[in-house]
């Protein structure tokens, strides 16, 4: 097979050569390569449908629905009805009475892709219909159902958003629905774009961040290739990874449709996918393939690592020539392309660390900061804040199931953490960079952020380069990709081009946070932040003594600056359930607790700055801490009912009367070290 005509191939263990693709009926104007375009939320499924979706509206009779956050029920899907004779999916078909097929887009190794529309919402979607030969295999459908529970949870600007996996009972087909992305394939622009070293570092970082999000949910892609990278708006700065259709669960006890065999494109797969190194497939496998994709962009053409199955193995054993890559990124690619997976960069975290080193090669390496936990598991945890009512998040005697905090990366309003630099990835519009100043871009972004639904975002970086503007963000959002799109649109109205967008510091949050975020965001403080936390995440350990003996939790360290604050304040936690719990009811209660002494509150020298230590019990997860300042009269009962239909209006009224302003910090409890 030719290198430039790579297809996704399945190879059974022990087979000498990959099997040929199934014969496909010709369709007019079908592209030679699979163009994956991937929108709309699923509505009520039709009877007898099997649907796995990110949310659950009420299903119709006999429908099987598996929603995010719930364990998969032990059900056996009915065998699919026989498809109509001689006909597959056609424009005009309506799948499960929800998705109307509009036009054929492309055909690839796993199925056909169509543009469609959600008839209930008029949103455009992409529909990938699985090949009949694959859909007829119960092992295939079982794998897709299992993976769909992961795919619909993926939320990152560098990943396509999966909506639903379903079975159409009348047509007897199995299909996947994703958001529709208007753009081009990375394979279509090889040789047409000529990014420099820093631009390639930015592209690598973006794709690595997206793959990291997938790996953290327990799935690896295994088919990272240029035709599975879509350029939204035809810009490298908005690259999106698509087609997780052959992703493999990281769980070593799980199986896929191909067992331990090969799946992927010969020009971009890792050696272990071809049978070397004990077929040890894991996150490091995507590391290898990502490096080959970046090398192809640098070369302006394919990698020449394919050919026959035997040739592909031999070329990897000889090593990959990275001389075509710019010197800034070549050392990183060399470490990603080590044939032996045990010696290569093993995770996307290691790739991101290597990229940071490449950007600042002369900077001294800083030791990795470990989460602060008690060195002795039997050590008695610090007490909760004395003389202050203990919220659910502070003690074992609190409300069942509620405890302390957590989110990916700490984010204070105006936080001091700076996102790494990612210079431009594509050329700016003619004259745009010169006509628009960085202050104009910054102003457009700051004006847009309060309008982004279900979010708490902070602009951490704004810079101007030869190719356009580079922006970085931290915070949380219900859908980071939508938040990024809103920022691009706002900047575009100023005639400017964003050459790089770093949303790696933006954590996707559950929709249960949205009501609180949307209600509080309008009163966000523009002053210097007063609240911060000591580190991005906290490792869970088992408390040996005290109120939390035998329970899992961690100690959170917060700094609170009261210097110059003449108003009252209160502290609250915002839990993943959407509940808001009181930590400190008032300034008077806090100062009384500090004066009483104890280990929970320490006054730091120099100004009115305090360090607060709180031991909290909870499992891994995220939430935030809210600081409200104003004239007082903070109504905890009001804050605890964020799901009420008129809550936002009542909160806005109370905040207006009290002159309230808000700050938030976010961080995550993790369980990375076995207890």
Return the top range by mean pLDDT from 62-76, 93-107, 611-625: 93-107
Q: 26 pLDDT band (50/70/90 cuts)?
A: very low
Instruction: Work out the average pLDDT over 37-58.
Output: 36
Confidence bin at 614 (pLDDT 50/70/90) = confident
Tell me the mean pLDDT in the region 356-369: 59
pLDDT tens, position by position, 638-649: 887 787 788 899
Q: What is the pLDDT of residue 304?
A: 85
- Mean of the pLDDT values across residues 118-131? 89
Q: Could you tell me how many residues make up the chain?
A: 675
What DSSP character marks residue 427?
A: P
Handedness of CA 355, 184, 486, 247 (dihedral sign): negative
Assign 492 a pLDDT band (cuts: 50, 70, 90): confident
Mean pLDDT of 201-218: 90
**334 confidence band (pLDDT: 50, 70, 90):** very high
Residue 530 has pLDDT above 90, yes or no: yes
pLDDT value of residue 109: 64
Instruction: List, as one string, the DSSP characters of 247-312.
Output: -EES-TT---TTTTSEEE-TTT--GGGGT-GGG--SHHHHHHHHHHHHHHHHHTS--S--SSHHHH
The whole-chain average pLDDT of the chain stands at 74
How many CB atoms are located within 10 Å of the residue 236 CB?
A: 24
pLDDT band at 270 (very low <50, low <70, confident <90, very high): very high
- Using an 8 Å Cβ cutoff, are 506 and 473 in contact? yes
392 or 490: whose pLDDT is higher?
490
Question: Which alpha helices (H) appear in 136-179, and where do they start and end?
Answer: 138-151
Crossing angle of helices 438-448 and 480-492, in 10° steps, is: 130
Rounded to whole angstroms, the Cα distance separating 436 from 275 reads 53
Q: Give me the torsion for CA of 130, 135, 139, 141, rounded to 10°.
A: 70
- Residue 264: what pLDDT? 62
Q: Are 225 and 268 in contact (CB under 8 A)?
A: yes
Beta-ladder partners of 537: 668
Alpha-carbon span 233 to 540, nearest angstrom: 42
Helix axes 348-359, 283-299, angle to 10 degrees: 40
Residue 343 CA to residue 167 CA, distance in Å, equals 42
Position with higher pLDDT, 103 vs 106: 103
Beta-sheet pairing, 661-670 with 537-539: parallel
| pLDDT exceeds 60 at position 350 | yes
Phi, psi torsion values for 418, nearest 5 degrees: -105, 130
Q: Which of 387-391, 503-507, 521-525, 620-624 has the lowest mean pLDDT?
A: 387-391
Residue 259: pLDDT band by 50, 70, 90 thresholds? very low
Q: How confident is the model at residue 578, as a pLDDT?
A: 67
With a cut of 80, say whether residue 344 has pLDDT above it: yes
Of 322, 267, 269, 266, residue with least CA distance to 299: 322
Mean pLDDT of 102-126: 87
**Residue 229, C-beta contacts closer than 8 angstroms, at least 6 positions apart:** 185, 186, 207, 239, 240, 241, 242, 293
Percent of the chain with pLDDT over 90: 28
Mean predicted confidence (pLDDT) in 420-427: 35
Q: Which residues contact 214 (CB under 8 A, 6 or more apart)?
A: 150, 154, 156, 159, 220, 221, 241, 244, 247
Q: What is the pLDDT of residue 88?
A: 73
The answer to whether residues 224 and 241 touch, using CB atoms and an 8 Å cutoff, is yes
What value does the mean pLDDT take over residues 533-555? Answer: 84
Residue 119 pLDDT: 92
Average pLDDT for residues 296-320, to the nearest whole number? 89
CA distance 523 to 456: 12
- Rounded mean pLDDT, 512-516: 85
CB 119 within 8 A of CB 168: no
Q: Where does the pLDDT of residue 127 fall: very low under 50, low under 70, confident under 90, or very high at 90 and above?
A: very high
Do strands 229-232 and 219-220 pair parallel, antiparallel, or not at all (unpaired)?
A: unpaired
Q: What pLDDT, on a 0 to 100 scale, did the predictor assign at position 610?
A: 94
Give Cα separations from 155 to 161, 211, 238, 565 (angstroms): 6, 11, 14, 38
Please provide the DSSP assignment of 537-604 as one string. Answer: EEE-EE--SGGGTT-EEEEEEEEEE-TT--SEEEEEEE-TTS-EEEEE--HHHHHHHHHH--SSEEEE
What pLDDT does residue 248 have? 45
Closest CA to 494 of 472, 468, 473: 468
pLDDT (mean) for 592-616: 85
Greater confidence (218 vs 411) lies with: 218
What's the alpha-carbon Rg for the chain, to the nearest Å?
26
pLDDT at 435: 65
What is residue 200's predicted lDDT score, i.e. its pLDDT? 92
Q: Give the integer Cα–Cα distance in Å for 210 and 483.
A: 15
Buried b / exposed e across 607-638, counting CB within 10 Å, b at 16+?
eeebebbbbbbbeebbbbbbbbbbebebeeeb
Cα distances (angstroms) measured from residue 608 to each of 386, 406, 412, 675: 19, 26, 19, 38
DSSP, residue by residue, 179-224? E---EEEGGGGBTTB---HHHHHHHHHHHHHHHHHHHHTTEE-S--
């Amino acid at each position: 097979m030719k290198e430039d005509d790579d297809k996704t191939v399945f190879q059974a263990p022990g087979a000498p050569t990959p099997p040929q693709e199934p014969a496909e009926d010709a369709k007019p104007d079908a592209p030679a390569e699979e163009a994956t375009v991937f929108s709309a939320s699923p509505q009520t499924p039709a009877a007898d449908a099997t649907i796995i979706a990110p949310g659950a509206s009420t299903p119709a009779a006999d429908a099987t629905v598996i929603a995010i956050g719930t364990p998969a029920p032990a059900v056996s899907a009915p065998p699919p009805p026989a498809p109509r004779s001689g006909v597959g999916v056609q424009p005009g078909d309506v799948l499960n009475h929800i998705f109307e097929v509009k036009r054929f887009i492309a055909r690839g190794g796993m199925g056909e892709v169509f543009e469609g529309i959600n008839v209930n919402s008029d949103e455009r979607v992409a529909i990938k219909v699985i090949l009949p030969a694959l859909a007829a295999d119960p092992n295939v459908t079982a794998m897709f159902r299992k993976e769909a529970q992961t795919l619909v949870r993926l939320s990152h600007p560098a990943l396509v958003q999966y909506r639903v996996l379903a079975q159409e009972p009348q047509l007897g087909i199995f299909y996947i629905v994703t958001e529709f992305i208007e753009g081009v394939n990375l394979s279509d622009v090889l040789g047409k774009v000529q990014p420099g070293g820093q631009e390639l570092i930015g592209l690598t970082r973006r794709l690595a961040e997206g793959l990291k999000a997938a790996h953290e949910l327990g799935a690896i892609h295994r088919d990272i290739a240029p035709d599975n990278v879509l350029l939204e708006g035809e810009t490298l700065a908005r690259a999106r990874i698509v087609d997780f259709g052959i992703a493999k669960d990281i769980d070593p006890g799980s199986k896929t449709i191909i067992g331990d065999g090969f799946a992927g494109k010969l020009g971009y797969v890792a050696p272990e996918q071809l049978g070397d190194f004990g077929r040890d497939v894991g996150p490091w496998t995507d590391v290898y393939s990502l490096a080959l994709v970046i090398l192809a962009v640098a070369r302006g053409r394919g990698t020449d690592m394919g050919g026959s199955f035997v040739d592909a193995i031999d070329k990897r054993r000889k090593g990959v020539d990275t001389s075509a890559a710019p010197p800034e990124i070549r050392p990183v690619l060399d470490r990603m392309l080590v044939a032996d997976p045990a010696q290569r960069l093993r995770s996307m975290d290691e790739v991101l660390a290597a990229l940071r080193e490449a950007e600042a090669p002369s900077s001294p390496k800083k030791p990795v900061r470990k989460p602060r936990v008690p060195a002795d598991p039997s050590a008695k945890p610090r007490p909760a804040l004395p003389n202050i009512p203990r919220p659910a998040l502070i003690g074992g005697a609190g409300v069942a199931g509620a405890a302390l905090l957590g989110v990916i990366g700490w984010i204070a309003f105006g936080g001091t953490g700076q996102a790494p630099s990612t210079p431009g990835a594509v050329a700016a519009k003619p004259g745009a960079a010169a006509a628009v100043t960085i202050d104009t871009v910054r102003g457009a972004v700051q004006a847009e952020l309060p309008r982004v639904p279900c979010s708490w975002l902070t602009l951490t970086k704004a810079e101007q380069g030869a190719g356009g503007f580079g922006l970085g963000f931290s915070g949380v959002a219900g859908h980071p990709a939508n938040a990024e799109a809103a920022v691009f649109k706002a900047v575009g109205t100023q005639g400017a081009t964003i050459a790089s967008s770093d949303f790696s510091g933006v954590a996707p949050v559950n929709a249960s946070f949205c009501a609180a975020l949307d209600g509080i965001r309008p009163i966000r403080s523009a002053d210097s932040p007063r609240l911060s936390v000591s580190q991005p995440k906290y490792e869970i350990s088992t408390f040996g003594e005290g109120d939390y003996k035998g329970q899992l939790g961690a100690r959170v360290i917060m700094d609170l600056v009261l210097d110059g604050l003449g108003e009252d304040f209160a502290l609250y936690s915002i839990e993943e359930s959407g509940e808001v719990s009181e930590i400190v009811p008032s300034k008077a209660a806090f100062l009384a607790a500090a004066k009483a002494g104890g280990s929970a509150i320490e006054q730091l020298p120099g100004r009115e700055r305090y360090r607060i230590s709180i031991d909290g019990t909870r499992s891994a997860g995220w939430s935030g801490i809210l600081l409200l300042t104003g004239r007082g009269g903070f109504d905890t009962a009001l804050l605890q009912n964020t799901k009420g239909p008129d809550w936002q209006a009542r909160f806005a009224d109370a905040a207006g009367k009290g002159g309230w302003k808000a700050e938030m910090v976010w961080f995550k409890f993790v369980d990375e070290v076995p207890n």
